[in-house]
């Protein structure tokens, strides 16, 4: 059976515009080449895992940390190498990086907008965790007329964050990603002395209830000296 090489044929016919373009092989290996339109030879870069044949046309290479570069390789020699590895892979699309959450869709943005509709200002806070991760949350000070970050050891405050619905003590605390099914909103209030207690926990689609509860808290008399309930680390 003859193995076709449509990707190689296309690149060598049209050229790669003075840059390296890739060909994924059927066995998962990868090579890239720089070739002029219609040229009979090309610069070829073999990524790790792909070894050049021990023949004279592949003797112009140099080793690099992430592969090997060969100059003046006949296109037919490249074709033979591709065939030896089963031909070209059916999927020649380059791998795509994971999509990042749009800033306007994060829990922080969603909650901040909802709070702002009630005239409530929130401030982002965070702490570093082992391994470089971070817990993030929003802080709402009881004195909304005071500019700047709330004085959490001098005045009552509320903390709002997103968490996965789990009984695990090592739960996620975040406002940096978008809300997802299975998440919950946690509202924790502090009395300004370091003591905290949970005000409410609601499913991810009930942010409005959390915001309303925070608005009610802002107008209610404050009680100090809560039993201390630390947020999970």
Q: pLDDT digits over 15-36, tens only?
A: 999 999 999 999 989 999 999 9
Q: Predicted confidence band at 110 (pLDDT cuts at 50, 70, 90)?
A: very high
What pLDDT, on the 0 to 100 scale, is given for residue 132?
64
- Pairing state of beta strands 134-141 and 157-164? antiparallel
158 or 172: which leads in pLDDT: 158
Give the count of alpha carbons within 13 A of 147, CB side only.
0
State the pTM of this model: 0.53
> What share of the chain has pLDDT > 70, as a percent?
83
Q: For the segment 112-140, what is each residue's pLDDT rounded down to a tens digit?
A: 999 999 999 999 998 876 656 789 999 99
Question: Rounded mean pLDDT of 77-97?
Answer: 85
What value does the mean pLDDT of the chain take? 86
For residue 224, pLDDT over 80 is answered with: no
- Neighbour-count burial of 82, counting CB atoms closer than 10 A to its CB (0-12 exposed, 13-18 middle, 19+ buried): buried
Rounded (to 5) percent helix, strand, coil in the chain: 20, 30, 50
Give the Å distances, CA to CA, from 220 to 125, 194, 215, 229: 24, 20, 9, 21
Q: Of 213, 208, 210, 218, which is closest to residue 141 (Cα–Cα)?
A: 218
For residue 232, pLDDT over 60 is answered with: no
Residue 82 has φ and ψ, to the nearest 5°, of: -60, -45
């Amino acid at each position: 059976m003859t193995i076709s090489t449509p990707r190689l044929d296309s690149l060598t016919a049209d050229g790669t515009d003075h840059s390296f373009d890739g060909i994924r092989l059927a066995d998962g290996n990868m090579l890239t080449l720089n070739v002029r339109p219609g040229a009979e030879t090309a610069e070829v870069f073999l990524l790790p895992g792909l070894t050049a044949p021990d023949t004279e046309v592949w003797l112009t290479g140099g080793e690099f940390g992430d592969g090997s570069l060969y100059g003046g390789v006949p296109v037919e020699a490249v074709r033979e190498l591709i065939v030896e590895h089963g031909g070209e892979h059916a999927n020649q699309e380059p791998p795509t990086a994971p999509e990042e959450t749009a800033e306007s869709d994060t829990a922080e943005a969603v909650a901040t907008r909802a709070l702002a509709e009630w005239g409530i200002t929130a401030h982002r806070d965070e702490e570093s965790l082992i391994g470089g991760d971070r817990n993030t949350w929003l802080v709402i000070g009881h004195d909304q007329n005071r500019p700047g970050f709330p004085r959490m050891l001098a005045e009552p405050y509320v903390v709002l964050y997103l968490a996965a619905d789990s009984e695990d003590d090592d739960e996620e605390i975040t406002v940096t990603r978008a809300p997802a099914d299975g998440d919950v909103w946690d509202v924790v209030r502090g009395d300004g002395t370091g003591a905290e207690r949970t005000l409410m926990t609601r499913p991810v689609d009930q942010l409005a209830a959390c915001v309303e509860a925070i608005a009610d808290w802002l107008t209610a008399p404050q009680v100090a000296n809560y039993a201390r309930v630390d947020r999970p680390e």
